[in-house]
Structure 1
Amino acid sequence: MAETHTLKTPDGTLYYEVRGSGPAVVLTGAPMDAGPFEALADLLATERTVITHDPRGIGRSPLDDPAQDSTPELRADDLVALLDAVGVERADLLGSSGGAVTTLAAATRHPGRFGTIVAHEPPLLELLPNAVEQRASTEEIIATYHRDGIMAAFGAFMVNAGFPLPEEGEGQAPPEQEPGEQESADAHRFFAHELRGTTRHVPDVEALREGPARVVVGLGVESAILLTDRTSRALAKALGVEPVMFPGGHGGFEDDPRGFAEVLRRVLS
């Protein structure tokens, strides 16, 4: 059973959940909130203190200034604020997607606060050979949001990320449903204030290699067609390590939480 809390920060409020007891591990996403980590967190809580949260400006973590951009560095500072609130000096860390970029910023911005850091499929577009083209694609996705709205922007985003569209003859896609108020607010945060800063982050590879935290690159076994497969492998190559393969794809922790937890336990031990 998770304990729910809020933490007032200098520029907003963070919602977070704490489960279990033992060595601490933080599970973080961006823009994903705490919800999809629930099953994984419950499994890990049998032997660990597990901290999950809604990242700044998303879900139950409102900002005082809704127009403030979300950067990996600011999100990394939030992770340390959560550790302080829980009374934890040092924790392991799993980040997914944009949250994986957060973990890399945390490793270099707050050395000594994290033990093993697992960056699962970080969208580090600046590490790719076609970074200039990817930067332009990101700008076009953001422009699509402002011009044509949420559904058009998500469609463009999914195509660029490599997610397959339905094949001809497979039937029509389900009717588009208008997003609710919170979904619309979170989508606005993502496209208007988060996507650019996350994908343009350039990790300090030397600091990651020489710092006190052990950095592990995680990759889904079903993610070969995705853009994040390329970015994850580029990061692993830069760090001089092999990626650790996890069950499922980009959201493997949600699709197969038990299998994901088994691999994560081995990595953290």
Structure 2
Amino acid sequence: MPGARLRYLRRGNGPLLLLIAGGDGDAAAGADLAAHLADSYTVLTYDRRGLSGSTVHDPAQSPTVTTHADDVHLLLAALTAEPAYVFGSSIGALISLELVSRHPEQVGLLVAHEPPATQLLPEPERTSARDDQRRAEDAFQAADASAAMLTFAAFAGIDPADREPDVVLMPLGPERLPNMEYFLTHDAPAVRRHRLDLAALKEASTRIVPAVGQASAHIWAHRCARLLAEELGTPYAEFPGGHNGSVFRPRAFAATLRDVLGGRLP
């Protein structure tokens, strides 16, 4: 990749399915979801540039959402000549939507779970949502990464109790600190500044399925997904759990994702 080297993981057999994690999530963040899909799909996960095993040549240079989408474009081009399935959550949904707006031929079907696309919100919701984003960035500057991520968790409605019994939560410990700091320094501001190319998405050959959490109707990212569905004139799909449903409820989430990819939902 120009300016970076990406680490990726592939498992399973079948059509290629790329999972793009939200927040500071790396390839491991999608491991449980991938495990429930690998019998039917070749599941691809990766570390975004700057996270975990992916490196950047200039750590001070901030990637944009478009930079991340270009990375995915090159990654897919290196691995397949066929259109892939793509699932993205939160920032991962924004990245995947940007990919489709620029390279629709690479994606046969995209499931975009609760993209934080504040441009879709009417006022005063739009200003309120962007204030939430800035508060998390400010908390990082004033305190530390853990305080900022807790701020994110609050406005994203993250409920650690809403998870499957065998899911082990990843603590906000020192092993996550480099990823959290990179996300808060570079990716969180990039998300706040990004604007979707709605005209390109409407013209894209890709089938786009906006997705929401069954337990997240109270958060603005859920509303963004529903408004995106209205803009595109397409139904949205409901998935188990909340904004972190793909991580907290991977078994049930995978079952719903199979139905969406197979055309049985929404």
Shorter-chain TM range is 0.7 to 0.9
Tell me which moved more, 95-104 or 37-46.
Answer: 37-46
- Pick the aligned partner of 2:3 from 5, 11, 15: 11
Q: Aligned-pair distance for 1:87?
A: 3.3
Deviations 1:207-229 (A, max 9, x none): 21221111101111111222221
Deviations 1:189-208 (A, max 9, x none): 11111112113322122221
1:255 aligns with 2:245: no
Query: Hey, what does 2:227 align to over in structure 1?
Result: 234
Aligned to 1:52, the other structure's residue is in SS state strand
Deviations 1:154-202 (A, max 9, x none): 2332333344799xxxxxxxxxx8731x422211111111112113322
TM-score (structure 2 length as normaliser): 0.86
* Contact 1:159–1:165 under 8 Å retained in 2: no
Counterparts of residues 45-56 of structure 1 (less than 5 Å): 45-56=38-49
Tell me which moved more, 234-243 or 244-253.
Answer: 234-243
- Pick the aligned partner of 2:211 from 218, 225, 230: 218
Q: Percent identity?
A: 37
Query: Hey, what does 2:137 align to over in structure 1?
Result: 142
Q: Aligned-pair distance for 1:256?
A: 2.4
Aligned mates of 1:239, 1:50 — CA distance in 2: 27
* Contact 1:98–1:123 under 8 Å retained in 2: yes
Change (3 A) 1:55 1:251: same
Aligned to 1:27, the other structure's residue is in SS state strand
Change (3 A) 1:161 1:145: same
Aligned to 1:112, the other structure's residue is in SS state helix
1:36 aligns with 2:29: yes
- Pick the aligned partner of 2:13 from 18, 21, 28: 21
Aligned to 2:110, the other structure's residue is in SS state strand
Query: Hey, what does 1:67 align to over in structure 2?
Result: 60
Query: Hey, what does 1:99 align to over in structure 2?
Result: 92
Query: Hey, what does 1:174 align to over in structure 2?
Result: none
Q: Aligned-pair distance for 1:241?
A: 2.1
Change (3 A) 1:86 1:145: same
Change (3 A) 1:94 1:186: same
Query: Hey, what does 2:173 align to over in structure 1?
Result: 179
* Contact 2:157–2:243 under 8 Å retained in 1: no
Aligned mates of 1:191, 1:161 — CA distance in 2: 15
TM-score (structure 1 length as normaliser): 0.85
Look up the equivalent residue of 2:129 and give its one-letter code: Q
Q: Aligned-pair distance for 1:10?
A: 2.0
4+ long deviations beyond 6 Å: none
Look up the equivalent residue of 1:148 and give its one-letter code: A
Aligned to 1:119, the other structure's residue is in SS state strand
Look up the equivalent residue of 1:179 and give its one-letter code: G
Aligned to 1:44, the other structure's residue is in SS state coil
Q: Aligned-pair distance for 1:17?
A: 0.5
Deviations 1:94-116 (A, max 9, x none): 00111000010000111201100
Aligned mates of 1:237, 1:178 — CA distance in 2: 36
1:157 aligns with 2:149: no
Change (3 A) 1:81 1:54: same
Equivalenced residues, count: 250
Larger Rg: 1
Query: Hey, what does 1:173 align to over in structure 2?
Result: none
Change (3 A) 1:162 1:50: closer
Aligned mates of 2:74, 2:109 — CA distance in 1: 18
